A = this chain, B = another copy of it.
């Protein structure tokens, strides 16, 4: 069975600024979420919301508007509420990553609500107690109040990262996405030989007193992982230099 992201909704409670509703819709759609429920928004529908939603206007158009939080949660098997502060009554608390894991897992068989409170005061204690879990975004204790849409962004980002497999996965190794084959070991050795020859010729390198120069060159070029085309360019440069030196010598003679 697979996670069903269409079973996951974002619920915004009593939002004051329609711009935050629009920005939340955009964040949701960026992260593959489509279902928004608005509990008693102060201003909705709103042109400001549409402006901030950018290409996520469809999320706004399909948003469900209800009058209280229980109505928004009536059919939900899992409810997670965003909470900035630690509360008097401790409640099972998730990190954003754990929230993503649980929400995706339970989305197989359940409707899941991710609930976000007011811009100024978050969710009330009563509303928080309608949640099975609370989720807290780690933040600077000296400035812990996140913008509403920023909080929606983080929670949805963790969901999408996990869903798309980007969370555990490292970025593709260079071999996988590079558009050019890497230089082979043989090509590298030919390059180092060519380089050394030129360095000697211009008297930058003295094989009788090498001072680790070639080792340093190897360490430097080895770190870069030169591709075949770059190798051609470097070899071309060395040949060009030699040719130039030849001509200069002929002119002097």
Digitize A20-58: 1 where CB-to-B-CB distance is under 8 Å, 0 elsewhere. 000100110111100000000000000000001011100
Instruction: Flag if A161 contacts B178 (CB, 8 Å).
Output: no
Q: State the oligomeric state as a number of copies.
A: 2
> Main SS of the interface on chain A?
loop
Instruction: Flag if A94 contacts B23 (CB, 8 Å).
Output: no
Instruction: Flag if B90 contacts A26 (CB, 8 Å).
Output: no
Contacts of A142 in B (CB 8 A): 29
A234 within 8 A of partner (CB): no
Binds B, one of A60-68, A71-79, A152-160: A152-160
Q: Which of A90, A92, A93 has the most B CB atoms < 10 Å from its CB?
A: A90
Instruction: Flag if B56 contacts A143 (CB, 8 Å).
Output: yes
The distance in angstroms between the C-alpha atoms of A231 and B166, with both chains bound, is: 43
The distance in angstroms between the C-alpha atoms of A30 and B154, with both chains bound, is: 12
Minimum C-beta distance from A88 to chain B (A): 9
Instruction: Flag if A30 contacts B170 (CB, 8 Å).
Output: no
The distance in angstroms between the C-alpha atoms of A108 and B172, with both chains bound, is: 26
A171 within 8 A of partner (CB): yes
How many of chain A's residues have a CB under 8 angstroms from any CB in B?
A: 49
Instruction: Flag if A144 contacts B30 (CB, 8 Å).
Output: yes
Minimum C-beta distance from A173 to chain B (A): 10
The distance in angstroms between the C-alpha atoms of A153 and B94, with both chains bound, is: 19
The distance in angstroms between the C-alpha atoms of A169 and B138, with both chains bound, is: 11
Minimum C-beta distance from A158 to chain B (A): 9
CB-CB nearest in chain B for A23: B147
Question: 8 tightest CB-CB pairs across the interface, nearest first?
Answer: A138-B166, A32-B140, A29-B143, A150-B153, A93-B171, A30-B139, A138-B164, A154-B157
